[in-house]
Amino acid sequence: MAENKPTCTVCAKTFNQKSSLNVHMRSVHDMEVGLGGPLVCPMCDSRVQCYEDLAGHMEEKHGMPMEKEELAFACMEDFKAWKKKEENENRSLYVKHSASKLLANGKKRTLFRCNRDGSYRSRVGTDRKKKLKSQGSCKIEARCPSFIIVKEGAENVRVTFYKRHVGHSMSLGHQTLSRDDRTEIAGLLESGRPLSTILDLVRDSCLNSEHFQRIHLLTKMDMRNITTEFNLKKDRLHQNDAISLEIWVNSFLEGNMDYNPVVFYKRQEESDKTVVGSPHLNDEDFLLVIMTLYQKKMFLEFGSDIICVDGTHGTNGYDFQLLTILTVDEYASGYPIAFCFTNRKDTIAYKRFFLAVKMANSMPVNYVCNIFMSDDEPAFLNAWEEVMGPVKHRLLCSWHVDRNWQSNVHSKIKCHSKGVMAYKVLHLLQKECNETSFLQKLQLFLQELGEDEDTQELARYFRAVYAKRPETWAYCYRKSLRINTNMYLESFHRVFKHMYLEGKKIKRLDKCVSALMKFTRNKIFERLIRKQKKTPSHRLSQMQNSHIESLAIKVPSH
């Protein structure tokens, strides 16, 4: 075996490793050998074969002592504890870039390098979309001579530690989270704790720590990266969003059909299936209709009274609109009964949505909705009546009406003072509760608008759009209908966007669908809690408080 070992050509001395021979040749015989390897010196352009050669080069050519330490540990757990303590105290991080090697003597050799060591290489090349960090790459485009060699045997663990770093500062900004820290954070994320709560725990721990560490610079972006690394995104079934959604839909088709919340699904680039009484969708159209069993139950129980329909924008990165059908239960609380994601915003998409709901619930032929509320877009009502049947009362949301009035008054009346007065009259006219008085005031208002040249354009608009259908917007026609605004849907939009989507525009559709399913699940439990504890809704509580306050009003005696 001796003839196979590296041997000095001058004195015939043998060595176990080539690097040891190179050090011997340079230190004893003053010969430049082993300096043409892949490791670049951080101080000059010299190249060496291995890290031991780099340490020798730093001492010989640059006069930098490498502070070499030889350590021994009883087991790898003791070594890891020492390594973590060393990293925390010196704001460093040592990582393993290659697999351990089995030596001839049976020991396992592992090399841990400084994380600043090496050169930055983009994984995506010139096609990358995200910019580099403002602080730049952590790589120093050379080799740091600080490293750890671990030789793990059956009885103990021998460690050779070159402590001195060269070519970079010991800033925490370029240090990455250690594997142990990432694993600990992943455990907290897996437990379901909010990101803000985890940040509080980490930053509070800084007060009891002797050294300020990289973990104390934890950000929400770090936690999102950890979520991806440990595959904690339960709503992401595949890296590709379309495939992930497809897997989610198919998971219900392959299981129990009774529990399938997907009542209609048409992916993009797929030909539409012909359905009797339904308009045809184009190949590029997308439509996903979701309705759970409990939502079907709520629709059959309360859907004949109040129906609210509206669309929500900004819930995903594809600009797909989220359409929602909502009803009102016996607690005067809004309850969404069906959802639809679609790229279309027209009667065709609405009719297909309503038809899917009708077929999923086997609606009776004589179904009649008492109250239908939406914005001022006629497409919703037209599609509903064509698919579901007639409605008794068509109401416009007071907020949408008021917003339209403000916009048109501003654009059609150039005189500011006359515009302000016209809007005030419209506002009072809308809230007039006596029908006879309302009709008289409406005619007088239109007459005054028509006689003034500055307000004639608004008069023509108001006659054409609102004067012919006051029953849809005037309060005197809805006194006993228990609803003025689409506040139930507005409340749903606010809660879903700010609580379930965390106030952000979600890029992936599968994540938005997952959040929607969590919302419908939680609505079931909210309703069960209310039924068990007899808890009134916020609207009922306000009505009760108003009633109590009205009883306390003292009527003046005459």
> pLDDT 10s per residue in the chain (558 long)?
445 788 888 888 988 887 788 788 877 877 766 556 788 899 988 888 889 889 989 998 999 998 999 999 999 999 999 998 998 888 898 999 889 999 888 899 999 999 999 888 766 555 555 556 666 788 888 999 999 999 999 889 999 999 999 999 888 877 888 888 899 999 998 887 888 899 999 988 887 777 788 888 898 888 888 888 887 876 777 888 888 899 888 888 765 556 789 999 999 988 887 676 677 889 999 999 999 999 999 999 999 999 999 888 777 778 899 999 999 988 888 899 999 999 998 899 999 999 999 998 877 767 889 999 988 888 999 999 999 989 999 998 888 888 899 999 999 999 999 999 999 999 999 999 899 999 999 999 999 999 999 999 999 999 999 999 999 999 998 887 877 666 788 888 888 888 888 777 788 898 899 999 999 999 999 888 888 877 766 666 777 777 787 778 877 765
Q: Is residue 540 exposed (0-12), middle (13-18) or buried (19+ Cβ within 10 Å)?
A: middle
Query: Contact 112/178 with Cβ under 8 angstroms?
Result: no
| Count of Cβ atoms closer than 10 Å to residue 537 Cβ | 17
Give me the pLDDT at residue 33, please: 66
Q: Tokens standing for 115?
A: 């994380």
Q: Determine the straight-line distance between the first and last CA of the chain, rounded to whole angstroms.
A: 123
> Is residue 180 classed as helix, strand or coil in its secondary structure?
helix
Give me the pLDDT at residue 398, please: 84
CA distance 436 to 412: 29
Q: Is residue 56 exposed (0-12), middle (13-18) or buried (19+ Cβ within 10 Å)?
A: buried
Strands (E), 78-177: 94-95, 101-102, 108-114, 147-152, 157-162
Give me the pLDDT at residue 46, please: 85
CA distance 432 to 255: 56
CA distance 314 to 506: 8
| Count of Cβ atoms closer than 10 Å to residue 533 Cβ | 8
Residue with tokens 């240090």: 175
Give me the pLDDT at residue 126, please: 55
